Amino acid sequence: MKNLLRYREIWLLAAIAVLIGLISMRFPGFADPANLRQVFNDTSILMILALGQMVVILTRSIDLSMASNLCFTGMVVAMLNAAYPAIPIPLLIVVALLVGLVLGAINGFLVWRLNIPSIVVTLGTLTIYRGATFVISGGAWVNADQMSPAFIGLQRAAFLGIPVLSWIALLVIALFFLLMTRTALGRSIYAIGVNPTASVYAGIDVGRTKFIVFCISGMIGGLAGYLWISRYVIASVEVANGYELNIIAACVIGGISIAGGIGSVGGAVLGALFLGIISNALPVINISPFWQMAISGSAIILAVVLNARGERRQGRIILKKAEAA
């Protein structure tokens, strides 16, 4: 299976290379290292969100509330910053992580303790969290001029020539890589995605593990809330409206199986990059937004077809085994 995964990631990498090649035929500067760094930076938030979504999808669940969580948490930190500009930014990031964690824990609790399907729970909280944003803000915006220079400036500061936002994305990628390959939790996440029954017998608490993955996706949503608001310097009820679909699309393109159990950090990152290139670069070379949509849509379907073929091969083995038993 690992070979198969690598295979998929290589294909995705190749697709991205072809895409970059095609774009640079029309816009020669595109393949410049400096520009590619910029593309990475522009895609950082999507990558971070896709990783948070990935752990949820791996356990055969889904978190539709991530973008609303982002919106709510972003509003909280923006209002805090506007009201108390003296609060240091690292502390605000901690607040963002905690607020996101609480929202994620609510999802996780409902899935775990009340046994409600995650798609239903998060469809509900998707609306609730956005509604809550309206309640705390009274529908008002927080504008750039109300935010402190440090609030806006942190992610733009460069360290070793690379913006802090990119560094944060790299850090999150590294942490998720360790989580998925080097921790007992990561192993349990894969196991319950592939075979929840066998996991129960092996002594893994499936409900609790699901609770934890929703806490993780919540924290990621919160972190992305701060990053989004400080990047686009406006906090409103409309922030990232509908963005949950882009997050899920990035996961699907990255080869993460919606049926759970299959997917990797590399896949999620590449899936996000692919979408990022399409949405950031195509307008530059005057390709209409409708073509962009068509390309992203086709990529999703193509990814699912490729993944389904991979999984079917595996399915046949299971079927043979089931018959023999």
> Is 159 one of the binding residues for another protein (CB under 8 A)?
no
Stated as kind and residue range, the H or E segment containing 86 is none
Radius of gyration, CA atoms only, the chain? 20
Does 115 bind another protein (CB under 8 A)? Our answer is no
> In terms of CB distance, is 160 or 325 closer to another protein?
325
Burial (CB < 10 A; 0-12, 13-18, 19+), residue 262, is buried
Name the residue type at position 267.
G
Q: Which residue has the tokens 């790299």?
A: 170
**Residue closer to another protein (CB basis): 108 or 163:** 108
Of 53, 118, 188, 246, the residue at the interface with another protein (CB under 8 A) is 188
| DSSP category for residue 32 | S
Whose Cβ is closer to another protein: residue 180's or residue 268's? 180
Residue 118: exposure state from Cβ atoms within 10 A (0-12, 13-18, ≥19): buried
Residue corresponding to tokens 């500067």: 29
Span near another protein by CB under 8 A; candidates 100-108, 127-135, 144-152, 184-192: 184-192
Residue 197 touching another protein (CB under 8 A)? yes
Our finding on whether 286 is near another protein (CB under 8 A) is no
- Name which of 241 and 314 has its Cβ closer to another protein: 314
Are the C-beta atoms of residues 103 and 72 closer than 8 Å to each other? yes
Q: Does 182 bind another protein (CB under 8 A)?
A: yes
Residues from 244 through 263 that contact another protein (CB under 8 A): 261-262
In whole angstroms, what is the distance from residue 266 CA to residue 281 CA?
A: 22
Chain contacts with another protein (rule: CB under 8 A) = 1-2, 182-188, 190-191, 194-195, 197-205, 261-262, 314, 317-318, 320-325
